[in-house]
Structure 1
Amino acid sequence: MLFALLCDDKPGALALRKDTRAAHLDYLASLGEGLAFAGPFLNEAGDPVGSMVVVEAESEEAARAIAANDPYAKAGLFAAVSVRRWNWALKNPKA
């Protein structure tokens, strides 16, 4: 099952995001085929203010564990994280 991890950064946390970015990207790469895609949400100035990560997981609990183990989450970057089951209906390369 696919799950979308929708993450909102805490206000004023851009420096923390930048400092933790390399570890975050390494973590996402370590998910291998379990990572469908990922990228940041941007504000009007083009600065990242959150993340959307879509992962393959056996359950919502497993997807929540993936979210919790992200270095961004461990560093306290996020103000809120929502985990939602998601269906890739259009332009799914695996369909």
Structure 2
Amino acid sequence: MLFAIYCLDKPNSRTLRLETRAAHLSHAKAQGDSIRLGGPLMTDDGQDMVGSLLIVDMPDKAAVEDFVRDDPYYQAGLFEAVLIRPFKQVLPAPD
């Protein structure tokens, strides 16, 4: 089942994000094909990261919550808010 994970960083947390980025990326890459799409949310000028957006394919919301809780960004206290919602892909049409 597909889920969207939308995370917003706490204000003034650029340093924390950069310090934990390598560990976060390793955690994400370890999920293999479960992550369909992922990357940082950016400021309006595109110059700085302010959050994360991922589309994941996992068995249920509990699995997604476990994935998020194990993320080094989450464990470091980077996020001000995390929203997890089931997602239905319409475009491009799924195989």
TM range (shorter): over 0.9
Match of 2:40 in 1: 40
In 2, Cα distance between the equivalents of 1:89 and 1:30? Answer: 27
Match of 1:13 in 2: 13
- Which letter maps to 1:42? M
Where does 1:75-86 land on structure 2 (aligned, <5 Å)?
75-86=76-87
In 1, Cα distance between the equivalents of 2:55 and 2:69? Answer: 14
In the TM superposition, residue 62 of structure 1 has moved relative to its aligned partner by 1.1
Match of 1:60 in 2: 61
- Name the stretch that deviates more: 51-60 or 11-20: 51-60
5+ residue gaps in structure 2?
Answer: none
In the TM superposition, residue 44 of structure 1 has moved relative to its aligned partner by 2.6
- Which letter maps to 1:23? A
Secondary structure (helix, strand or coil) at the match of 2:90 reads coil
TM-score, normalised with respect to structure 1: 0.93
In 1, Cα distance between the equivalents of 2:15 and 2:92? Answer: 35
Q: Which runs of 4+ in 1 moved over 3 A?
A: none
% identity of equivalent residues? 38
Aligned residues: 94
